[in-house]
Amino acid sequence: MQITREKIKELYADKRYQSLFDVGLFFVLIFSFHIFYVIWEGPMDFWPIKGTVDKLFVWASALLFDQSTWTLEHIFRMDFVTKDQTIFFLNNEDYYSAVTVAPECTSLKQWMHWLFLMLIFPGPWKHKAWYIPLGLVIVEFTNVVRIVGICLFLRPFPNSFALAHDVIFKIMFYVVIFLMWASWNDYFHHKKIKRQTT
């Protein structure tokens, strides 16, 4: 069976397959950007704007550190001390745990993921103009939740940094991005399609 452009359009028009196509495109775009980012960060060393990117990482990590420590202090009333963007706090086993907010902890990669995804994914530009910045704010908020969550998780489970950092809160990040995209797809992209077909 030959797959033509018309056949793909016909399948996409069938509501039974729309979600499959959309989710497939989401994962292709996310994975494509991830590969691009790994190459740009690694062998290319952020060429040709390395200086600017390095400054952005330093600025964003300082911002994330300030937001996270403010949240720990004012919302969770947690006792801690800080030194050079590292948060030290007493855990349940009566020794200190530490969480460092390094430049690579920032939301910059996820911001770029979100921008790349939303600039390419179909939908009305008049709504993208406010939905993309809103998504960037939510991504930053999610990162604050991640740092705060890791600190709170390490108090009762001080030997579980890898679980908290590499599994629980990393997955949470991409779940949030997926949910924001799914909301866009349902409430803006497909509503535009319905208006065009009616």
Query: Is 19 contained in some domain?
Result: no
Query: Is 55 contained in some domain?
Result: yes
Residue 87's beta-bridge partner residues?
82, 99
pLDDT digits 0-9 by tens, 23-64: 888 999 999 999 999 999 999 999 999 999 999 999 999 999
Count structural domains, the chain.
1
* Closest among 63, 132, 32 to 71, alpha carbons compared: 63
Q: Pick the residue with more confidence: 137 or 93? A: 137
Q: How many residues make up the chain in this entry?
A: 198
| The amino acid at 62 | A
Q: What pTM, to 2 d.p., does this model score? A: 0.86
Q: What pLDDT, on a 0 to 100 scale, did the predictor assign at position 188? A: 86
Query: Is 171 contained in some domain?
Result: yes
Query: Is 34 contained in some domain?
Result: no
Tell whether the model's pLDDT for residue 121 goes beyond 60. yes
Query: Is 24 contained in some domain?
Result: no
Q: Give CA–CA dist 150/115, Å, rounded.
A: 26
Residue 87 φ/ψ, nearest 5 degrees: -105, 120
154: containing domain: 48-197
Backbone dihedral region for residue 96 (phi beyond 0: left; psi -120 to 50: alpha; all else: beta): beta
Query: Is 59 contained in some domain?
Result: yes
- Cite the beta strand spans of 22-160 per DSSP E: 81-83, 86-90, 96-100
Q: What pLDDT, on a 0 to 100 scale, did the predictor assign at position 198? A: 46
3-state secondary structure of 39: helix
Report residue 57 as tokens.
Answer: 């990482």
Q: What is the mean pLDDT of residues 157-174?
A: 92
Q: Give CA–CA dist 62/150, Å, rounded.
A: 17
Query: Is 105 contained in some domain?
Result: yes
Residue 86 φ/ψ, nearest 5 degrees: -115, 135
DSSP symbols for 126-175 = HHHHHHHHHHHHHHHHHHHHHHHHHHHHHTT-TT-HHIIIIIIHHHHHHH
Query: Is 118 contained in some domain?
Result: yes
Report residue 139 as tokens.
Answer: 């991504």
* Closest among 47, 48, 59 to 105, alpha carbons compared: 59
Residue 88 φ/ψ, nearest 5 degrees: -110, 135
